[in-house]
Amino acid sequence: MADAVAVHEGLFTTEPRLIGGRCAACGRHQFPRGPLCPYCGSEDVGEALLSPRGT
């Protein structure tokens, strides 16, 4: 995948792995990463590499 292009910058790493968000307050993950946690409303959402496996 040397010439792979993401549909939107900041969604993938080079491995490829999805980049989402993880809330520091409740620990839940989200994709795509947003400014607020959709579960608890916290603004403390950081970048997180998401699993390459499904749920």
For 30-49, how does the pLDDT look when each residue is reduced to its tens digit (9 = 90+)? 999 999 999 999 999 999 99
Give me the residue label for tokens 């040397």: 2
Structural domain boundaries enclosing 46: 1-55
Where residue 22 falls among pLDDT bands split at 50, 70, 90? very high
pLDDT surpassing 80 at residue 1: no
The total of structural domains in the chain comes to 1
Model-level pTM? 0.69
- The secondary structure of residue 31, as a DSSP letter, is S
**Which has more pLDDT, 10 or 43?**
43
- Using DSSP bridges, classify how beta strands 29-30 and 19-23 pair: parallel, antiparallel or unpaired: antiparallel
